[in-house]
Amino acid sequence: MVSFHRTDFSPYTSNGLHNSLQCSSFQCAVCILGFDCPSADLAAIRGWVIRYPRPSFRKVHTSLEASQCLERKPPSHGDRSPPSIWPTCAYWSSTRLCQRPGRYPRDIWSEQRVHKSTSNPRKPAARLSELTLSQTGFYPIQCISWNKQPQMNLFSTRDEQFHRDQKRPVANAYSMTSLLEMEPAVDSCTEIFFSRLRDFADQKKPVDLGTWLQYYAFDVVGEFTFGKKLGFLQEGRDVDGMMEGIQGILAYASLCGQVPEMHKALLGNPLFPLLMPSMESWNQVLQFTLKMVNSRASLKRDGELEKSGLETGKDMLSRWMAIHYADPGKMSTRDVIVHLSTNVFAGSDTTAIALRAIIYFLLRHPRILDKVVAEIDEADRRGSLTIPISYRESIAHLPYLGAVIKEAMRLHPSVGLILERHVPKGGITVCGKHIPAGTTVGINAWVLHHNPTVFPDPEAFVPERWLESSPEKLKEMEQSFFVFGAGSRTCVGKNISLIEMHKIIPQLLREFRIQLHQPLKQWKTKNAWFVQQEGLVCELLRR
């Protein structure tokens, strides 16, 4: 049986994201299924279950890792529900290894007792610099291919210098100050969104609110990125099959990401795009991006964009082309297209997941819903809110709503897999344990966010924890809040999501009474890189 060595039984660490590693799903699955793998060396350090690079074992765990990506399970939350958030095998296996010692091999429990006193659970187990660890082969799979060549983006690149060089000229466009300059464009999306919802309410027809929230997120991304809507709200459909296409990319990335060698034989094969151009990796996202770009300016044969006033707007395309025209060496047309494509790919799903989670948990907790609505109504009576509600008004006058938003994202982070890293040459030492080079380690927000030491009663939906905790406790929770990642690789579009959430949710609750169409039926979730939800079908009544 596989031997585990532990320094502390807790599956988490108390001092935040730098100190916590996730129990990678395959090791737990190995224990559960009883595989006898004498050639595999595993170490669990304060919740980090770490994979050692043993080739003979690789064949076993890759199939298990890949299979967990598509597991479905409907989570359920009551005000004080028992542990029940098992949306995927990935989350289940990531946490249960350390939470239920009696159900696993005795080696885990006995070694835990031996080493339990070696560290203080209130102190950091390890603090690893982001420069110490390198990204794994999971990331390059998720680059676009243009002119038959892979084009790395801020997420997919493994080169830290390249990442810094690419991020430097675009970072300002993602700042809150720059984005709020385009708030009127967001409001125009909001007006179309509510016009469509009013039609459903007046006709007393149930609406798949989860789908329409994603239409809204797509059109908002279109305004920020291209200075125009993408047509999802106006047409009420998945324009050009983009939502479906992105789901295919996510499924491919989550599966092949566990076995990167397969990518070389599939979409990563240079012959593949020649034989099947329509299946070229990210082809659909790239073509959609070029279509949006060409609607504003002509892309010439040499790959250059005609000016035609393109650089004068406040959207990202305009800002970045202004940089390009001023200094082509600082930002090429290729760079602009890659950044735009990344926005199209990653800008809607993660935000829509968060919006669905907020609405769903509110509808499942009437007491909290009533409290949020009362806060909005009171701010309205004071004249503190305009129509539509601005981001700054929401932040300033709706603190309980802010806590609800944060708690929903804690309970249901958008990303469901670990953010993998490789230990570099020479290995590293963590808590006195040497971790060999090539070992895969990683952090999963689902694990961090359900640490009972940091978040008491972690499966419960308790927005008050973000308002009533002591400053020390609040700091501890903030350090373990990993929904947007951390460090230099923090989600660059974080502020876009926050603007949407803080604007659209209070406006929804201000205008409609919302209830689930089938209140006894739980939603379903699917982890294909992002933890998508299905089943947020609602009935709307105008207030």
Tokens of 276: 């099947």
CA–CA gap between residue 323 and residue 334 (Å, rounded)? 13
Q: How many CB atoms lie within 10 A of CB 416?
A: 26
CA–CA gap between residue 190 and residue 527 (Å, rounded)? 29
Q: Decide: 503 and 390 in contact? Cβ < 8 Å.
A: yes
Is 491 marked within a binding site? yes
Angle at 294 between CA 290 and CA 300, to 5 degrees: 90
The amino acid occupying position 298 is S
Which helix H or strand E contains 48, and what residues bound it?
Answer: strand 48-51
The amino acid occupying position 527 is N
Indicate the pairing of strand 149-151 with strand 530-534. Answer: unpaired
- Nearest CA to 60 out of 256, 258, 268 is that of 258
Beta-carbon contacts of residue 462 (< 8 Å; ≥ 6 apart) = 407
Helices (H), 398-484: 399-411, 445-448, 465-468, 471-479
Q: Please say whether the dihedral angle defined by the alpha carbons of residues 323, 326, 332 and 333, taken in this order, is positive or negative.
A: positive
Beta-carbon contacts of residue 34 (< 8 Å; ≥ 6 apart) = 1
CA–CA gap between residue 248 and residue 253 (Å, rounded)? 9
Phi, then psi, of 22 in degrees rounded to 5: -90, 145
Q: Decide: 27 and 96 in contact? Cβ < 8 Å.
A: no
Beta-carbon contacts of residue 212 (< 8 Å; ≥ 6 apart) = 193, 196, 197, 233
Q: Which residues belong to the annotated binding site?
A: 491
Q: Which residues belong to the annotated binding site for heme?
A: 491
